[in-house]
Amino acid sequence: MNTRLRHWLCACAVVLGSWLTTAAEPVWLEDLPQALEKAKAEKKQVLVNFTGSDWCGFCIRLKKDVFDGKEFAEYANKRLVLVEVDFPRKKQQSEARKSANEKLSNQYKVEGFPTLVLLDANGKELRRMVGYSGGGFATVKKRLRLPD
């Protein structure tokens, strides 16, 4: 095989590999009512992540250690509908989004970041996890008692 063809095939493999990885990334919604409807239709639970995405060190670590991982992506795509309720300091949000997030924070009595709240498809709280001190997806799964 000539060198030019080999380089082209390698480049295609890299592009395809990154596309496949991206395609498996879970989708985070911002609208809880929409997420609950989706959860009902797909017979899934809802995981709500209350986060300070651009300033909270433990939130950033949780995202890196857990939410950006392949194991979490595979699990979430099969079993969860994901909602991110963000309270950034630098990133701009609409007033409607800020208001909706504040309402959810009050409704679920969030007192610190990150807070993960696991809901059934009707919006009933099943379990919660406040804070993150490491351990990856296995620790989060255990603390939230997520089924295998």
For residue range 45-54, what is the model confidence (pLDDT) as tens digits?
999 999 999 9
Q: What is the mean pLDDT of residues 33-54?
A: 98
State residue 58's pLDDT score. Answer: 98
| Cα–Cα distance, 146 to 13 (Å, whole number) | 35
Does residue 72 have a pLDDT over 70? yes
pTM to 2 decimal places: 0.84
Does residue 7 have a pLDDT over 80? no
Q: What is the mean pLDDT of residues 61-85?
A: 98
Residue scoring higher pLDDT (130 or 6): 130
Length of the chain: 148
For residue range 75-130, what is the model confidence (pLDDT) as tens digits?
999 999 999 999 999 999 999 999 999 999 999 999 999 999 999 999 999 999 99
List of domains in the chain: 26-143 (3.40.30.10)
The mean of the pLDDT values for the chain is: 90
Q: What is the DSSP string of the chain?
A: --HHHHHHHHHHHHHHHHHHHHHTSPPEES-HHHHHHHHHHHT-EEEEEEE-TTT-HHHHHHIIIIITSHHHHHHHHHHEEEEEEE--SSS---HHHHHHHHHHHHHTT--SSSEEEEE-TTS-EEEEEE---S-HHHHHHHHTT---
Does residue 18 have a pLDDT over 50? no
Neighbours of 131 (CB within 10 A): 13
Sign of CA dihedral 100, 105, 107, 108: positive
